[in-house]
Structure 1
Amino acid sequence: MFRASGLDRPYYAKFCSIVQSSGTGKSRLMTELRNKGVLVLYMNLREPSDTGFPKRDLVPARILTEDMDCSQAEYTARCCALFAAIFHTIQQDLTPMLPSLRSGSAGAAIKSWNDQMCDMRSTARTEFFEKVQSEYRSILGKIKTPKSKESGNVNRDSPIVEETAAKLERMSLTDVQIQAPNLEGASFVVAAYTEMLKMPHVFPQGDAPKLVIALDEAHPLSKMSSKGFRPSHILGRTINAYCRNNDASVWVVFASTTSQVADFSAPQVIHDSLRVAIAGHLLYQPYTYLGWDQNADPLPRILAKDVAKFHHIVGFGRPLWKSLMYKQNIDGIMALAAQKLCKSKKFNPQDINEALAVLSQRFGLDIYFGHTNAVSYLQKGVASHLRVCFSTTEDRSWAFTGYPSEPLLSCAAAILLHGGNLTEALKVLKAKVDGGMVETGQSGELASRLLLLLAKDMYVRSHLSEGTISDLHYNGTADTELMDCQKVSVIDFLEYLFGDEFWSDAGMDAKSAFQHAYINFSHWVPMEDFISPKDSKLADVESSRCDAQEWTLRHWHRTSAVQCCHLQPLVDKMIPIYFDDPALGSNDAARMSQMFVSDKAGKNCNESTLAFITRKDASIECLSDLPYIALLLDLNVGPKLSTTFPKRVPNHPESDRCLRIYAAGMGDTTFPFLHEHPEVAKLLHGLVSRQQEVPSQSFKRLEALVKFGSTATLRHSRWEAQDVL
């Protein structure tokens, strides 16, 4: 929203924007306003080649986005004629349904109209837009543009509009204090708007929206025309023309995956309205109150051993996935998820945006904010690759984005990566790490995430279970398990990760302790606070700490593993462990344990710190009656693998039993599975120990001069040294 300087009215024009990635519920958010007693006119402007749903509304889409070789004046006339036709047709539709002035509210009429117009397949919508088109053509023929000033006589067949229009045509429609460019057709749209507001009971006084005109998939309006104007700027001025002298709550909402729809008001060079942004939401996020994961199963509804089933996994994340179950089979949903993530029918691992999208969704890539390409990459990620926009800065110069936990999308990404594309995608990642756009973490956290999840990926693909969903084109029942979400034996996984001799070194007692233990993670999610926050006794119930066993179980249910915050003491990661042992009872939360991982990437050995990792620490506090695992990955030193596991002590709690694993180096000596994937091993090692080119002496000299105070040495302290350098 914008405020015109020096005026009492609090807006430049009553329109706002919704920017978010595909499938998050933007369309439904707008149509759901009908349940608040708001008239909702939904119009979809998607490209003709886009076959998504809701489908393209041909009449408004053609008027606003096609034949853009017209002049600015001609396009202005089109915008004014369209909105005048919309206001006139709404009035024509509603007036016969409205109660008399002495009767009650117009709620019943509004509900009846909304029920028809918000049904995307109804004949009422088709008939409405046919009437709009007819009225539009009539009004457009009467608007005088520089191209057709000589046309004089017109057939005035729209009396509701004409009387007011004739008066306004003789008025000077200028913005406050500024002589605005001529707005061809402004009189007609203002006249139709004024007449529409006279309908009884529909537009009472108040700030709450009464009519919302929703323009979905609005990004085509941001494209520059061949004549040098942007349709969005003209549309913004049209809205300003009819609403600037009336405070009626008639709003236009632009929704898109691109951030350009947040800047739809005309720039100063086109129309200097003395506008300044005012406080408030500058970016409206869908499902602010309806929530993410709205289709997810409640925790008690499904057993922990069944969480890999498609009907459970499809409920997490954006509402799109579950909604498609009513229209498509599993084959269609998985393929669509992959296509939307890449914005391509075929994944190209050499394409930077596609490769980073597929890797980011699973491995939690951190983008360095200061990099020159960061802004454009993140904007394109939201617009084209399902990246989610969390918030923006107040001036909209920066957006905070990421890939939330969506296990179905993770499975699609895994299938794309392991379809012969992994090495090429990792090469793209390595290049972006070397270029400074992707951060590796402080202690090799990125390499560790890649190592552990890729090992799990490769294990399940080398030990395929019959009847699981292992590709994008599976066509079966929703009770089938997704390969990348199914539980994997801890015993088998560690043997695959560290080699055949692992359990003989760890001891049979250790192997026996974990004989019923499983992992199932398909992607990583980041934390922003300690596992156990220092102040866990908060007044707000939802802000208090989740019970440790429930916290672990919830990650198990959505097949996620945790990348801890940078300052988390002792550990850097947590992978849920589930004990599928009938002897443990029916309470799934009581069957949960954890694998804690500590990452190291320094030049010195850190083996001695392994003994200090304990889940009893106040920053962790994940107590359980079951044994757990502490893994220290010392990735940048010589290869070594060692294990310890305490012997069972009678009458001693099992919770103290920890399998401690020290794994050093990044190669097939410590991780034998990498022997079958030499290119992957090389790229992972490069992420840990990459060496930058030795800076030249001239660079070192400049660095010493400009980095005063960066160290306590003479070269960074004595500025007089430049005389002798």
Structure 2
Amino acid sequence: MDAHSNPANNMSLSEEEEDAYHRTQDQKVIENIGDFDPSKRSMLPNALAMVVLLGNEPDLKVTLEKAWIKKEFKDIRNRDILRLPSQIRETKEKSQSHKELDKMVKSAWNKEYTGEMHTLLFDNINAMNRRSTYSGFASIVQSSGTGKSRMVHEQAKLVFTLPFNLRIMPYPGPDNNVRQFLVGFLSNPGGQGVSMAKINITLFLGKIYQLAAERLSLLLNGGRMKRQELAERWYNYLQAKGNRSTLYEAALKGTKEYLLHSVSSCKNNGEDIKSKTKEWLVKLVGTITEHITDDVPDDQCVKVMLYFDEAHALIPSSDQEPQINVLEVLQSCLADTHRRAHFALFLSTVSKLQDFAPVQHLANSARARVPGPLQAPITEVPFDCWSGLPICPHLYKLGDLSKIRFMARFGRPLYWALLNESIVGRNVPEKLPPVEKQLKEIIVLLDVRLLLNYELYRDMTINHEANLVASHMRMNYSIPETREYLRSSYSSEFILAEAAARNLEMYCDNFTVILKALENEFKSGLLDKGAMGELVARLLLIFAYDRAIRNSYSTKPQNYSQGVRLIDFLKALFSETWMDEIMRCIPDNVSSEVTLKDMFKESYIRFTHFGKMVDDTGTTTEAMYAAFLRGMAIITRDNQQGVDIMIPILMWDKELCEYVMTAILIQVKWRICAGSINAYLINQRDINLFPDDCISKEVQNDVQSDPYFEFTLERPRENSGEPVRPYISLILELGVQPKLPRGSGINSQVYKNLAKKTAPRVVQSVQIVERGSHSTAKRQKLDHLDTLSKIHVIKGGKIRHHHDLHPRYNIFAYGCSSTVYRAIDGTDKNVLAKLLRIHDLLAEHPRQDSRSLEAVRRMKPFWSAGEPSYHWLESNLLNPKNAMNVDEEDEGGQLAGFVVTGSMEDTDTSAYDDVFET
């Protein structure tokens, strides 16, 4: 093999990937050498060394001999002589970067601990039922950077702890001797492999207990103290240089010597060692009990705690079968020597959830399958724990929110602990990865930002989510005692969302590949098909936001957290065909000529990701203020009346507080036929968007010159004297597919005319009626408006707004095509149709050409207007002769769609009335 083609030199591989690569290459070397004459094999190391001497590497002979004996050649492949100078330089740069990161980690690790999660952990362990043999240990399974290691490290100040760090990373310091001892049993399969591993590990634990009891007695020297003080004394002892390593080395040495003595004396190793380990554990617990003054019964509080960090190192890799599952052996050893005052924790980000915390009825041990013995995995870890929280109103402005220092204060402890701009994003590669890798990467990035909805209770979903937790920073919220599934998602970590936005930038000009990634997950059965309508809506919104950022700012790299003008966002969302109507939109529920463009010309939005609300507070401007701080749009609670998504709007770039916030209220529909505007009108009062004291005096004084106030101060809230705030109502009818008349030219005017014909009734803004008498026609008009805009005619003829004075700007978007949304290309229509289930069961039909789909529809799996269902019937309504089928392209290669607003011409035409008149 060409040495310079070594993937380990040319790209960043994970530890597991690099190990797998080297194992494969080692096997090839052994196979190739197998062709040599056996009598000459011993000469191979010397021969290779002679070749390498030309490169002035005289020490390589010893390395080659060791590699030959071990049959492992990783160290040879990684020699500088086998790499290009540029690769050596890159390695050295990475090494320097790692040293700097290690220095930062060390500094962060030694800072004062923030929060009380270590106390909660210890309290929860003490509250567990620990009577059965397999109840003496639990797993902490959580994503990277969430503070698992520091939490158990801090817990060691509360309870006597024996810590085992199985990491490879240099800090916090790994226990390499223990790691090598335990991992060494992975490669010893066979009849005696498991039993010998169990004997060795049980004895090692016993020797640890024995030596710890001896050293603790010397350390305390007969003194008595509270349990926590004793724990801190022992904690400090292990922290002192060399003590921890010396303790473990002595235990390993004692294990080896004891086994040699047992073999020579022909003792029954297994039972004898198990008995001795129990004895040494009891002695350690007794030593602790003798020296503490806390008046707590022994069976209520753990006295000896063990933890194994990065415990998944003990699980066999899938490409190395057969191997021993050392983790299971270790847990079996703990079960054999179980005492209620003794508990062990296993920490991991591992994706092998079924190995690390197996489903109860699938556990390998019969004792573990008994109802109730296994502890539920622990997922509670620190979050939003920066010491400077909480945030006060009027403290920050828009420009402050996009700074890394601000964003790093939220989410998992990793961010603010390391506080380095290098943790966000990456350089855009010169060329994109292969398509298959693109699609996998896109799904991860979209998940961070959109909160994908996965099908629950499926094995493939569990494995997929577990992998995201292990490798892509998805948060694991809960695993039930049965471990049959997990509850996970991406939390509101806007520094992570910012990183995802920057990584998605490489796909910004290819909406099709993003849809393809979603389609793949849709086909695989991972995505919840019932939630695809809202998911497509969130995708359109976030894609438009990203485009608006790139169009508005030229700085590189882009900072997607800096926010963008609302007007620019709408321009990036909708097709240019409709922008004039949208910008000229005026309120439909109050008397005003202030257009949307003028009302919101100083307004900003800022959302790099979505967050899920589960109560009614999520629809208030107080929640909009909180969401804006985090750069988050809101998915409302399930079954929320009238609103599915809310995007916070900052009315003016002033100090942030509730009083400067309003929102875009979005309702997503994906029915094929457009609904009535009466049914879909969104009124802020129905969701309690605004508080009673709508605008504070401080804000009023600060923005008196704004055109918004020129309008609102003239129309104060009834009986309060306070001004009001505007809001935007956006209805996305994604499933509607208007059919175009054949032969019509596809241009903006055709679509505008179509909109006027097919849109449900849109109410013009209400005009104030002066005192005096009114004609019957006028009164009929007012009566009609009363049902839509909730207005009342007061005695004397003056119209008073009874329910809602907040100006509402209505936008209705029908269809999901390039004629409506700027991001969509005509070639995307089939994918969108599948994702939105526009064809229902036909969305997953394997042949998507129009002839095949029509043949299936002619079999009458369902009924809908058009020839496939009604070719046998003459009917202008059900089978119009000049109608296009929904799968048939129009002359522009696109499905029709349209947008209407509260400012468009009023029409009495109902949906689809006379659609096909020319």
TM-score range, shorter chain: 0.7 to 0.9
Of stretches 377-386 and 405-414 in structure 1, the one that deviates more from structure 2 is 377-386
For the residues of structure 2 that align with 1:349 and 1:53, how far apart are their CA atoms? 35
What SS does the corresponding residue of 2:507 show, helix, strand or coil? coil
Say if 2:769 is the partner of 1:674.
no
Cα offset, 1:237, TM superposition? 2.2
- The answer to which of 600-609 and 409-418 deviates more is 600-609
Pair 1:16 & 2:138 matched = yes
CA 1:348–1:223 in 2, change beyond 3 Å: closer, same or farther? farther
Q: Whole-Å Cα distance in 1 between the matches of residues 149 and 369 of structure 2?
A: 29
Q: Assess if the C-alpha contact under 8 Å between 1:81 and 1:136 holds in 2.
A: no
Alignment-mate amino acid for residue 622 of structure 2: E
CA contact (8 A) 2:206 2:276 kept: yes
Asked if 1:565 is matched to 2:652, the reply is no
> Partner of 1:479 in structure 2?
none
- Asked if the contact 2:137/2:344 (under 8 Å) is kept, the reply is yes
Corresponding residue to 1:87 among 193, 209, 221: 209
Asked if residue 139 in structure 1 is aligned to residue 255 in structure 2, the reply is: yes
Q: Which of 500, 510, 518 is matched with 2:604 structurally?
A: 518
Report deviation, 1:375. Answer: 2.3
Q: State how many pairs are aligned.
A: 612
Structure 1: gaps of 5 or more residues: 1-6, 154-168, 174-181, 340-344, 471-482, 533-544, 705-725
Question: Per-residue displacement from partner, 1:203-223 (whole Å, max 9, x unpaired)?
Answer: 974322222111011112232
Is residue 439 from structure 1 mapped to residue 538 from structure 2 by the alignment? no
Measure how far apart 1:504 and its partner are.
5.0
The 3 A distance-change label for structure 1 pair 346 and 73 is farther
- Larger CA deviation: 594-603 vs 622-631: 622-631
Counterpart in 1 of 2:493? 406
Is 1:590 the counterpart of 2:708? The answer is no
TM-score (norm 1): 0.74
2:137–2:343 Cα contact (<8 Å) kept: yes
Letter in 1 for 2:210: H
Residues 447 and 521 of structure 1: is their aligned pair in 2 closer, same or farther, counting only changes over 3 Å? same
Partner of 2:154: 32
Matched AA of 1:135: A
Question: What is the DSSP-based 3-state SS (H/G/I as helix, E as strand, rest coil) of the residue aligned with 1:417?
Answer: helix
CA distance in 1, matches of 2:372, 2:661: 50
Distance 1:648 1:91, change over 3 A: farther
Aligned with 2:301 (options 208, 232, 236): 208
**Pairwise CA RMSD:** 4.0
Matched, 1:528 2:614: yes
Report what 1:178 is aligned to: none
- Candidates 248, 256, 259, aligned match of 2:348: 256
Matches within 5 A, 1:1-80: 9-12=131-134, 14-36=136-158, 38-46=159-167, 48=168, 51=169, 53-66=171-184, 68-70=186-188, 71-80=193-202
C-alpha distance 599-53 of structure 1, shift in aligned 2 (>3 A): farther
* C-alpha distance in structure 2 between counterparts of 1:528 and 1:293, whole Å: 22
Q: Is the CA contact (8 Å cut-off) linking 2:205 and 2:277 kept in structure 1?
A: yes
**What does residue range 137-286 of structure 1 map to in structure 2 within 5 Å?**
137-143=253-259, 151-152=264-265, 182=270, 185-199=273-287, 200-201=290-291, 205-206=297-298, 207-223=300-316, 228-243=323-338, 246-247=339-340, 249-258=341-350, 259=353, 260-263=355-358, 272-273=366-367, 276-278=370-372, 282-286=376-380
Q: Is contact 1:644-1:660 (8 Å) kept?
A: no
How many angstroms does 1:106 deviate by? 6.0
Q: CA contact under 8 A between 2:134 and 2:373: conserved in structure 1?
A: no
Relative to structure 1, the CA distance from residue 496 to residue 12 in structure 2 (aligned partners, 3 Å threshold; closer, same or farther) is closer
- The aligned residue for residue 475 of structure 1 is none
Contact kept, 8 Å, 2:166 with 2:175, in 1: the verdict is yes
Q: 1:654 to 1:275 in 2, by over 3 A?
A: closer
Q: Is the 8 A contact 1:451 1:684 kept in 2?
A: no
Equivalent position SS for 1:617: helix
Which amino acid is 2:569 matched to?
A: F
Report how far residue 556 of structure 1 moved.
0.7
AA in 1 matched with 2:284: M
Residues 397 and 656 in structure 2, CA contact (< 8 A), matched pair in contact too: no
CA gap 1:414/1:278 in 2 versus in 1, 3 angstroms: same
2:731 paired with 1:632: yes
In the TM superposition, 1:182-581 aligns within 5 A as 182=270, 185-199=273-287, 200-201=290-291, 205-206=297-298, 207-223=300-316, 228-243=323-338, 246-247=339-340, 249-258=341-350, 259=353, 260-263=355-358, 272-273=366-367, 276-278=370-372, 282-287=376-381, 290-292=382-384, 294=386, 297-300=389-392, 302-305=395-398, 306-325=400-419, 329-335=420-426, 350=437, 353-369=440-456, 371=458, 373-420=460-507, 423-441=512-530, 444-464=533-553, 466=555, 470=558, 483-498=559-574, 499=576, 501-502=580-581, 504-506=583-585, 509-529=595-615, 532=616, 545=617, 548-580=620-652
| Preserved CA contact (<8 Å) 2:663 2:727 | yes
Q: Normalized against structure 2, the TM-score is what? A: 0.60
CA contact (8 A) 2:624 2:648 kept: yes
Structure showing greater Rg: 2
Give the aligned partner of residue 4 of structure 1. none
C-alpha change, 1:283 and 1:520, in structure 2 (3 Å) is: same
**C-alpha distance 646-293 of structure 1, shift in aligned 2 (>3 A):** farther
C-alpha distance after superposition, 1:180-226 (max 9, x if no partner): xx468324423432332332325974322222111011112232775
Q: How has the CA–CA distance of structure 1 residues 618 and 519 changed in structure 2, closer, same or farther, with 3 Å as cutoff?
A: closer
Q: Is the 8 A contact 1:509 1:647 kept in 2?
A: no
Query: Residues 416 and 680 (structure 1 numbering): CA distance in 2 closer, same or farther, change over 3 Å?
Result: farther
Secondary structure (helix, strand or coil) at the match of 1:596 reads: strand
Aligned equivalents of 1:620 and 1:580: distance in 2? 18
Contact kept in structure 1, 2:135 and 2:373, CA below 8 Å: no
SS of alignment partner, residue 486 of structure 1: coil
Whether the 8 Å CA contact 1:80–1:184 is kept in 2: the answer is no
2:249 is equivalent to residue 128 of structure 1: no
The alpha carbon displacement at 1:44 in A equals: 2.0
Secondary structure, aligned partner of 1:143 = helix
- Equivalent of 1:614 in 644, 661, 683: 683
Between the aligned partners of 2:433 and 2:691, the Cα distance in structure 1 is 43
Code of the residue aligned with 1:455 in structure 2: it is: A
Matched with 1:692 is 844
Do the aligned partners of 1:524 and 1:560 also contact (CA within 8 Å) in 2?
A: yes
Distance 1:281 1:74, change over 3 A: closer
Contact persistence 1:17–1:254 (CA under 8 A): yes
Aligned CA distance change for structure 1 residues 189 and 504 (closer, same or farther; 3 Å): closer
Structure 1 Cα separation of the partners of residues 407 and 148 of structure 2: 22
Residue 441 of structure 1 and its aligned partner are, at CA, apart by 4.0
The residue type paired with residue 493 of structure 1 is F
**CA distance change for structure 1 residues 519 and 347 in 2, over 3 Å: closer, same or farther?**
farther
Change (3 A) 1:524 1:349: farther
Superposed displacement of residue 685, structure 1 = 5.4
TM superposition shift of 1:279: 7.8
**Structure having the larger proportion of residues in helix:** 2
**Unpaired runs of at least 5, structure 2:** 1-128, 587-593, 695-723, 739-750, 757-761, 769-798, 846-851, 863-918
Q: 2:175 corresponds to which letter in structure 1? A: D
Tell me how far 1:65 sits from its aligned partner. Answer: 1.4
- Contact kept, 8 Å, 1:21 with 1:257, in 2: the verdict is yes
Q: Could you tell me which amino acid in structure 1 is paired with residue 140 of structure 2?
A: I
- Single out whichever of 226-235 and 295-304 deviates more from structure 2: 295-304
CA contact (8 A) 2:148 2:347 kept: yes
1:660 maps to 810
Q: Contact conserved, 2:311 with 2:346, CA < 8 A, in 1?
A: yes
Aligned residue in 2 for 1:538 = none
Q: Give yes or no for contact 1:18–1:284 (8 Å, CA) kept in 2.
A: yes
Cα 1:411–1:213 change in 2 (3 A) is same
